[in-house]
Copies of this chain bind each other. A is one copy, B any other.
Amino acid sequence: MIDLYSERMNEVKPSAIRELLKLGADPDVISFGGGYPDPNLFPTDQLSLVYAHVLKEQGKQALQYTISEGLPALREKLVKRMERVGVTCGLDNLFLLQGSQQGLDLVAKMLLNPGDVVITENPTFLGALIAFNAYQPNYASVSMDEEGMDMDELESVLKANPRAKIIYTVPTFQNPTGVTMSLARRKRLVALANQYNVIILEDDPYREIRYEGEPLPSIKSLDTEGRVIHLGSFSKILSPGMRLGWVIAENELAEKLCLLKMAADTQNSTLNMYAANLFLERYDIDAHITRIQKVYRKKKQIMLDAFNTYLPKSVRYTNPQGGLFTWLTLPETVDTTKLMKERVLPEAKVAYVPGATFYPLRQETNHCRFNYSCMSEEKIVKGIAAFGNILQEYC
Interface residues, chain A, CB within 8 Å of chain B? 1-2, 4-9, 12-14, 34-37, 39-40, 42, 44-45, 47-48, 51-52, 55-56, 59-66, 97-99, 101-102, 105, 109-113, 116, 127, 130-131, 133-135, 165, 197-199, 225-227, 235, 239-243, 250, 252-253, 255-256, 259-260, 262-272
A134 near B240 (CB under 8 angstroms)? no
A269: B residues at CB distance < 8 A: 241-243, 269, 272
Contacts A64-B39, A226-B2: A52 and B48 contacting too (C-beta < 8 A)?
yes
B241 near A63 (CB under 8 angstroms)? yes
Contacts A197-B2, A260-B134, A263-B130: A63 and B36 contacting too (C-beta < 8 A)?
no
Contacts A4-B199, A60-B42, A256-B9: A243 and B263 contacting too (C-beta < 8 A)?
no
Using CB atoms, name the residue of chain B closest to A245.
Answer: B265
Partner pick for A63 among B13, B44, B131, CB 8 A cutoff: B44
A5 near B111 (CB under 8 angstroms)? yes
B60 near A36 (CB under 8 angstroms)? no
Using CB atoms, name the residue of chain B closest to A272.
Answer: B269
- Whole-angstrom distance between the alpha carbons of A165 and B8 in the complex? 15
Most chain-B CB neighbours within 10 Å: which of A6, A9, A102? A6
- Whole-angstrom distance between the alpha carbons of A225 and B40 in the complex? 47
Copies held by the complex: 2
Q: 21 pairs across A/B with beta carbons < 8 Å?
A: A4-B165, A6-B116, A7-B113, A9-B110, A14-B255, A39-B61, A39-B63, A42-B63, A42-B64, A44-B63, A47-B55, A48-B51, A51-B51, A63-B242, A65-B235, A99-B266, A241-B271, A242-B269, A243-B269, A243-B270, A264-B264
Most chain-B CB neighbours within 10 Å: which of A112, A199, A239, A255? A239
- Whole-angstrom distance between the alpha carbons of A199 and B321 in the complex? 51
A13 near B259 (CB under 8 angstroms)? yes
B65 near A240 (CB under 8 angstroms)? yes
Contacts A4-B165, A44-B63, A227-B2: A131 and B242 contacting too (C-beta < 8 A)?
no
Partner pick for A12 among B4, B59, B260, CB 8 A cutoff: B260
